[in-house]
Amino acid sequence: MLEKLIEQLSRELSMEDLITSTEDHHYLIPFDNHIEVEAVDLEKGYLLKVVIGACPQQNAESFLLKTMEANLFGRGTRGAVIGLNEEGKLLTLSLELDYNSSFQDFKEKLEDFISVIDYWRQEALKHQ
């Protein structure tokens, strides 16, 4: 099902040559501002994930507290979750979508996801 959503998205945004598949059920969707969203087909849904950027070294504790508050009930992330990569150096953003999502819902959630990425990149820069 994700494959069909990605195909429709690529046609609608004229990105047929830009979206790549790294392996079965994994897609890389490039956007402006060096944003590359990974879309993964899961057993019961879809996962969107991206690297926001480096975790600020200055005032890291206050910044991470701010991200935890944003994660609380998804208020500051529009339902996505801010986390850290395995090394704890890069901020990540992840969003799970229901398997039965319509194309319109998928597209709107992706747009929100991109907005959240932009916002948190700016916030990370402010704290560096």
Instruction: Examine the pLDDT at 24 and tell me if it is beyond 90.
Output: no
What was the pLDDT predicted at 103?
95
| Per-residue tokens: 84 | 């850290």
Q: What percent of the chain has pLDDT over 90?
A: 74
**What's the whole-model pTM score?**
0.92
Rounded average pLDDT over 55-66: 90
Cα(71)–Cα(7) distance, integer angstroms:
31
DSSP code at position 103: H
Cα torsion angle, 91, 62, 97, 111, sign: negative
Q: What is the mean pLDDT of the chain?
A: 92
Helix%, strand%, coil% for the chain, nearest 5: 40, 30, 30
pLDDT-derived band at 104, boundaries 50, 70, 90: very high
Rounded average pLDDT over 116-121: 95
Domains annotated on the chain, with CATH: 2-126 (3.30.1460.10)
